[in-house]
Amino acid sequence: MQPIYILLLSITVLNLLQAQNQSTSFDNSAKIIHIQKASEIIQLDGNLDESVWKKAQSHSNFWMKSPVNDTLANPSTTVYLTYDHKFL
48 within a domain of the structure (yes/no): yes
Residues spanned by the domain of 40: 2-25+34-83
pLDDT at 15 over 80: no
46 within a domain of the structure (yes/no): yes
pLDDT at 20 over 80: no
Q: Are 38 and 84 in contact (CB under 8 A)?
A: yes
14 within a domain of the structure (yes/no): yes
Residue 62 CA, chain-centre distance (Å), reads 3
Q: Which residues pair with 83 in a beta bridge?
A: 37
What's the rounded Cα separation, in Å, for the pair 42 and 51? 9
88 within a domain of the structure (yes/no): no
The domain tally of the chain equals 1
pLDDT at 10 over 70: yes
Is 53 strand, coil or helix?
helix
pLDDT band, residue 42 (cuts 50/70/90): confident
pLDDT band, residue 4 (cuts 50/70/90): confident
The residue ranking higher by pLDDT, 60 or 15, is 60
